[in-house]
Structure 1
């Protein structure tokens, strides 16, 4: 007899888990700098349009389809046609690959948590010069193939802890693991980020920073690249198209309010984007005003979290203990954001595997965690963290996710039937979606995602052409660790597709 499928025990538990899955470390720096370089306040108009026309309809689609088929990505594509099952496997390969390097970034936040405690108790003093600690942790390498440069013992140790945390939580299942942890993690994350935002607003120079973020440059509003960037930000930050939300939707109760839950999930993620933007640029405004640095002095990535914020924290108070404890809370916040996303990634693959193979949750989660940890070791090397991570991230994010999102939308809309999705979504929802829902998903979303995929490929060809003549090592790194990883994902997907169910 088929085992009864586990369900979320409450709507709030499901929403907290979904928000936790959508909100991650990337929100803290990706959104603020996407807005900053794409017209400031002018970016918010296409961003909001993207939320309404793409994110909410796609979230409704994935929740509804997941609940209807009671399965993850594998079952989602197999339901359309058995020959498309391999696409489902390709979809859930994305979170596994992303987890491998994502967990190394989470481990950096854990390292900074520990060092913050050390700072509070006078054991170490790093708040004023966090770049020194970052350099010690991540080291340096001459290129993506420079494995002789060594491995970071700090990353290696803490990435073990991160994977053990993932293993313990996801092994316990939906109601006893992910839901229980998310009900604690997500509200704590929201409260802590609100506290840091409020504190950042009182810093001298905060208004100068916010002016850089929110002042609209309407000359850029007609630039199609801004619209592509806005849709890309919304699409990737909501964790759509990689099997996570289909898997989460498959555990919904039959009478769940899908439309309302979708709106809440997307709105919460967008709110976190705004909170992160205000916090980052208020802090940068302070640093620019008081230290004479430029807005891009700390880069547009992890440098913001791991270098700019400790410096800002050190200037909030001269009390060393308080500096350390504020730093601890901030990096705890990053750790929670990262872990809540990583457990959702692990669950996406787990759900898909359990749908096809007769294997216990405990066993498959353990196997995936071991494989994922071995992958994380690669990114814990100095070459891995400084070069390979960016290459894999850009290729999976720019080409695989957007393409899979496009394929998923077209197949569900045109083969399964978007009207069936709309009827199912409306059945128990307080807010009903009309025929415009069909139009957005049949025409608008595929058009935007198609443009995104094509524009990304054109940019990649231009970049490869330039690298071939200027830096052959990076060129080969792009081929091996970028397109090579995509090829491995494809081969693994075909292998699992061809493997007979037990």
Structure 2
């Protein structure tokens, strides 16, 4: 036991349910909601996609969210500490999740910086008539890599470097202020502003010429797609990634809730708010795409509206042709900044909490230390002329392999191997208004791991046989597969040092009866 146990400061806590809900929504609602969902829905059956999407939400999204909440609140710790209290060696699973957050943070901050730059560009519509050339040329100064050209350079781009440094300064300030004065306050301010700003943008988009054509493209159902297994896998993938589950965020946030805190009701609010925002984004984006298609005399299918290009090429083109385009461009990119920043805060809070708990660091020391280290890596890797390609590669491998593997580990070890499902379900029901039934076991013990194993195997086979985006195989070995190896290596290396923080532990006194197969309460696990 640590000698600091008796003098350790009480664990921080959200001041109330509203602050927790807004913070959880701030984490879940991010850049991917705005640019990923519309394209995924369009490619997988349009309006018919909502059927597997809702099934995935109910059978995977909400159950895994509840698993995260139960682990964090029951065992009162960030990811490494919560898993350690399930079984000591499972601390490594927690550090695997922390490492996912580390890699996501270093590139996610760059996208937030791009959005901040384009927010400024919006006032003068600086991208002109060719948004694509402006984005990859003047803004990113993207290097023509491949062949004899280097895949990684340290040729810095001022238009990315300066806002990226400012983003890191801002996020360090928020995290250093603590859960209530920093994280909660930022979300209480930014999430309502995000909803209002994006709502205004959507309403304006609905009244544009050609908006109905765009909505028809999005919502016209292709019922035949429901018989395609890949459509169902896409639905589970979208729900899984958009809710910020299985990589430590919701575990950490739940650990900051007080003893008698309702967990399941707010979980439903967060899950449906996230999906509602995705649907709102789809309506706004496709209304605007319909307008652009009508202006250019093409169909919506002829436009490029996937991923980063939707945000930084297609949408700038749209606002250039819109009446009052500068104002609505500022609304759109301001929304991206707020959505991205609140998600970045939640990602880094996972890392900060883990360092504080394991190494007995103060909040300020942990925050400044990780901010300086990760900020430096972020600047060196993603503010250069090859930053976009590195970002694209790391994002693909970490999300499609790292996060999926993390969720599989959670379900297999917590539910299958150590059979903590009854204890966690009992805990949720003891503190919550919405009761969790036995259906939850079927979801987290069977449906989720089976679907995710299929997704993971399918993706790995694809990546082995087909190099991602046609990139150089040697480059992918280091930037792509190397990122996955770094997750494993980091998990091992951070588990090895002696735990210096508080180890004594008594779970909230809502433990299940002995016949539920749980260990004696109060034990150090």
Q: Same fold (TM over 0.5)?
A: yes
String of CA shifts for 1:112-165, please: whole Å, max 9, x gaps: 111223x1xxxx643544334312111222337334583211111110011011
Partners of 1:28 and 1:273 within 8 A in 2: yes
* 2:97 and 2:406 in contact (8 A); partners too: yes
Among 192, 197, 202, which residue is 2:202 paired with?
197
Number of the residue aligned with 2:218: 213
The residue that corresponds to 2:420 in the other structure is: 417
One of 3, 10, 21 as aligned partner of 2:9: 3
Paired position in structure 2 for 1:485: 483
The equivalent residue for 1:126 is 127
Which runs of 5 or more residues in structure 2 are unaligned?
1-6, 501-525
| Structure 2 counterpart SS, 1:458 | helix
Q: CA deviation at 1:195?
A: 1.2
Structure-2 residue corresponding to 1:344:
346
In the other structure, the counterpart of 2:241 is 236
| 1:61 counterpart = 2:64 | no
Runs of 5+ consecutive residues of structure 1 not aligned to the other structure: none
| Deviation (angstroms), 1:332 | 1.1
Q: Distance in 2 between matches of 1:182 and 1:263?
A: 18
Q: 1:222 aligns with which of 214, 222, 227?
A: 227
Q: How far did 1:488 drift? A: 2.1
CA distance in 1, matches of 2:24, 2:201: 23
Residue-by-residue CA offset, 1:172-227 (whole Å, 9 max, x unaligned):
11111100110011111111111111111111111111111111111111111111
CA distance in 2, matches of 1:147, 1:474: 12
Distance 1:147 1:430, change over 3 A: closer
Tell me, in whole angstroms, the C-alpha distance in 1 between the residues paired with 2:272 and 2:459: 27
Q: 2:51 aligns with which of 45, 48, 66?
A: 45
**Structure 2 counterpart of 1:36:** 42
TM-score normalised to structure 2 length: 0.90
Equivalent residues in 2 for 1:90-169, closer than 5 Å: 90-117=96-123, 119=124, 125-126=126-127, 128-134=129-135, 135-143=137-145, 145-148=150-153, 150-169=155-174
More displaced, 399-408 or 481-490? Answer: 481-490
Instruction: State yes or no: 1:181 paired with 2:171.
Output: no
User: Which has a greater percent of helix?
Assistant: 1
**TM-score, structure 1 length as denominator?**
0.94
* CA displacement at 1:298 relative to structure 2: 2.9
**Does structure 2 retain, via aligned residues, the 8 Å contact 1:140–1:149?**
no
What are the residue-to-residue correspondences of 1:388-403 with 2, within 5 Å?
388-403=390-405
Give CA-to-partner distance per residue, 1:434-461, whole Å, 9 cap, x none.
Answer: 1111221111111111111111112112
Provide, for residues 294-328 of structure 1, a one-character-per-residue CA deviation record: whole Å limited to 9, x for no partner. Answer: 535334111211222223223332xxxx4323322
Compare 76-85 and 440-449 and name the one that shifted more. 76-85
Structure 1 residue aligned with 2:321: 315
Q: Which residue of 1 aligns with 2:272?
A: 267
In the alignment of these two chains, the number of paired residues is 487
Give the match for residue 439 of structure 2.
436
Asked if 1:84 is matched to 2:90, the reply is yes
Q: Secondary structure at the match of 1:230?
A: helix
Aligned to 1:331: 333
